[in-house]
Amino acid sequence: MPEGPYRRLYLLVEGVDDLRFLERVVIPALSARYDYILPWQYAQQKPEKVHSFLRSIRSIGADYFFLADVDAHLCFPSKRQALLDKFTELQGSQTLIVVTEIESWYLAGVPENNDLGVQVSPNTSGVTKEQFDAARPKAFDSRIDYMIELLKVFSIETAAQRNPSFQYFARRCRLLSSG
């Protein structure tokens, strides 16, 4: 007979780059605490489907986090409010905003001394998709291959030091060893 409740976690993300990040960094780090973890892309879904999915998650008492890039919003509270207005089933405390875009998290976790030819600034918060793509070393023909290689050397602790929104996410999800 299993001990304790069956723990489920749903991670709602915008796109495929977010999904790749979760699958290679976040889900392995959380797998010991959850019996079931499902990432789900909401950006291409109709709002009604997202509402229904959120209602289902809440009705079974599962944990969830809703991730979104800050995008054109001036600050993360503005983006969070826009999401709460759009998805009324969403709880603000479960909404985590990536500043500026998920690519900033990819870079944040790369060790200073790496064999990828990547130079990383002490704070990656302002990195956009365009800056990320422009800084990709010429040795990488594919953006996806580059992203996968970054995740192979990714350090959660390093990323938390270089990117405040990742640090907040890591603390909320209890990815950091210090809590």
| Residue 24: predicted pLDDT | 97
| CA 129/CA 101 separation, integer angstroms | 7
Please state, as a whole number, how many other Cβ atoms lie within 10 Å of the Cβ of residue 44: 8
If the chain, 179 residues long, is cut into consecutive pieces of 10 residues, what is the mean pLDDT of each piece?
Answer: 78 96 97 96 95 96 93 82 91 88 96 92 93 94 96 97 95 82
In a domain, 3, yes or no: no
Tell me, yes or no, whether 142 lies in a domain. yes
177 belongs to a structural domain: no
Domain containing 120 equals 8-172
178 within domain boundaries: no
What is the pLDDT, as a whole number, of residue 178? 61
Examine residue 12 and state whether it is found in any structural domain, yes or no. Answer: yes
Residue 162: the pLDDT is 97
Instruction: Specify the pLDDT at position 172.
Output: 93
Residue 179 maps to a domain: no
Region of 122 (left: φ > 0; alpha: ψ -120 to 50; beta: rest) is alpha
Into how many domains does the chain fold?
A: 1
Distance between CA atoms of 44 and 142, rounded to whole angstroms?
24
**pLDDT computed for residue 71 by the predictor:** 79
| Type of residue numbered 71 | D
The first and second tokens of residue 99, run together, are 């500043």
- Confirm whether 44 is domain-assigned: yes
User: Alpha-carbon distance 77 to 80, whole Å?
Assistant: 5
Partnered with residue 63 across adjacent β-strands are: 9
